[in-house]
Structure 1
Amino acid sequence: MEKYSVIIIGGGPAGLTCGITLASSKGKFDFAEEKKYLVIYDDYSDLDKALLRNVPGIQKGIRGKDLLKRIRKQASEFDNLILKKGKVVEAHGEKGNFTVKLESGEEYRSEYLVVATGFHRFDIKGLDLEIIPHRKSPRPGKIMIKNEGGKVRDGLFVAGLVAGVPTMYASASGSGAEVACDILSEWAGKTVVVHDVPDTD
């Protein structure tokens, strides 16, 4: 069974941003050189039905499904980040030893686990999470996983709408980046972020 440094369940804005941020740390930190990451996503993302007109830096009027394709393409360009289409039905374990099982029967292991499954429902068995009403959803009946700043417990994080952020693309994406930086900071033993700067002459 293949083992990853981090498995991210969910391939919407939060999950993909988390994966890209983690993957982009290679070449910037010695501790990140041998790390590898897996994003598992299924057929649906709320971004599929969105039309984006108010996201800074993103073309006004782009359809969410087109943006999602671009982000997946960007993610696939990292050699330490794998995208896997599938439905997670079960996950269990603790920091250093999580196991994720797909509907197909495939299983993967990881040191850390990030849940970024959206705010509609949570039906993955085995993690013993506290599901509560979403605090910032304009629609009733939406859920989130109880957490403190994205952290549920050691090694287990939530990102995006399931973490309780507002139902906006920029909020979900930012939540994914923040969780990635928190994981990198744990590995570094100090606060780190992943920045790029242009080459200078």
Structure 2
Amino acid sequence: MRMKYDCVIIGGGPAGLSAALVLGRARKKVAVIDEGKPRNRVTGEMHGFLTRDPIAPSEFRRIAREQILAYPTVSFVADTAVSIAGTDGDFRITTAGGESYRSRKLLFAAGMKDLPLTIEGLADVYGKSAFVCPYCDGWEHRDQPLVVISSGADALHMAKLIAGWTNRFTICTNGSGDMTEAHREELSQRGIPVFDAPIRSVDSEGGIVHQVVLTDGTTVPCTGIFFRTTLVPGSDLPRAIGCEIAEAGTVVVDPFGKTNVPGVFSAGDAATRMHQAIAAASLGSMAAAAINGELSEEAWSHFTQAPH
């Protein structure tokens, strides 16, 4: 069993790194356990992060780690946490590599991960010309012909957003039957085509899509795609330790990242559906401040005056 840490952070993305920075500056002993497989590794650039727009996800992490390592109480562990036992004040974390760590507090910041993509050819363009967030990648595809793979109320929502970047887009429902007549009428009034046939394939070259092919033979030319991935939690450990989990798979937290389990916090994509790097970093910072507040209160309460 290794030394006892003030906090072990599981996940080294923007939320976990931001928390490590705050706790390091507060002189708390911290270990960041991360397997090095971030969800955004499929894309070449991050956007929307003030002072870092654009930046490669790997470069963002490199800079963050370099800055955090200026604080000697923070260490990084290239591994995966696989089990947790104990309670507030003495958690025991075991990794896939067989290492064990003890910690007073826990912060889950492992984010979410994508399930395998089922549309043929979509994985070839994901992160290159197919994206999930127009706030992150809409600017790069402004005024271009796009395909939005969605249906129902979500298709209408995506249409309203995408229209801010281009008026040249098509909705492909991929065979879903939940598009109401009201949805169709609203899209039709604005001249937005809707195709219902399932998607046979996404044709591309070098990661750049040039058309979406439907099973009825229809081809939809485009230079970009926006779609929804199916997400699952990046770690099952919050559920295993008893954290309340929302229907969307996120950990239920208060405004400062505190879960229903004493001593356990969560931040970033693991705890919110606002999947943007800058939002994750903000939530990580807030959670770290709350963790430091608890540790400081506990240290103050346990103070005993030395004899004269």
Task: Give the TM-score taking structure 2 as reference length.
Answer: 0.53
**Counterpart check, 1:175 vs 2:283:** yes
**Counterpart check, 1:133 vs 2:247:** yes
**Counterpart check, 1:56 vs 2:169:** no
**Counterpart check, 1:159 vs 2:267:** yes
Pairwise mapping of residues 11-90 of structure 1 onto structure 2 (< 5 A)? 11-26=12-27, 35-50=28-43, 51-58=45-52, 60-90=53-83
Q: Distance in 1 between matches of 2:36 and 2:50?
A: 27
Spell out, residue by residue over 1:38-70, the C-alpha distance to the aligned partner (whole angstroms, 9 max, x if none).
Answer: 100002112423422322122x22111111111
Spell out, residue by residue over 1:113-147, the C-alpha distance to the aligned partner (whole angstroms, 9 max, x if none).
Answer: 1000102323237412233233xxxxxxxx21122
Question: Does the 8 Å contact 2:48/2:278 carry over to 1?
Answer: no
Q: Distance in 2 between matches of 1:144 and 1:62?
A: 27
Q: Distance in 2 between matches of 1:187 and 1:108?
A: 18
**Counterpart check, 1:8 vs 2:9:** yes
Q: Distance in 1 between matches of 2:30 and 2:56?
A: 27
Q: Distance in 1 between matches of 2:58 and 2:268?
A: 17
- Aligned CA-pair RMSD: 1.7
Match of 1:145 among 231, 241, 251: 251
Please name the residue that 1:100 is paired with: 93
Task: Give the TM-score taking structure 1 as reference length.
Answer: 0.79
Whose Rg is larger? Answer: 2
Q: Offset at 1:81?
A: 0.2
Spell out, residue by residue over 1:144-165, the C-alpha distance to the aligned partner (whole angstroms, 9 max, x if none).
Answer: 1122221113210001111115
| Runs of 4+, deviation exceeding 4 Å | none
Q: Offset at 1:83?
A: 0.4
Q: Offset at 1:89?
A: 0.6
Question: Does the 8 Å contact 1:160/1:172 carry over to 2?
Answer: yes
Change (3 A) 1:99 1:154: same
Q: Give aligned-pair identity as a percent.
A: 27
Q: Distance in 1 between matches of 2:273 and 2:21?
A: 19
Question: Does the 8 Å contact 1:11/1:116 carry over to 2?
Answer: yes
Spell out, residue by residue over 1:13-33, the C-alpha distance to the aligned partner (whole angstroms, 9 max, x if none).
Answer: 00011011100123xxxxxxx
Q: How many residues align?
A: 172
Question: Does the 8 Å contact 1:91/1:101 carry over to 2?
Answer: yes
* SS in structure 1 of the partner of residue 112 of structure 2: coil
Q: Distance in 1 between matches of 2:85 and 2:12?
A: 20
Structure 2: gaps (5+ residues): 114-232, 298-308
Q: Distance in 2 between matches of 1:70 and 1:13?
A: 11
**Aligned partner letter, 2:50:** P
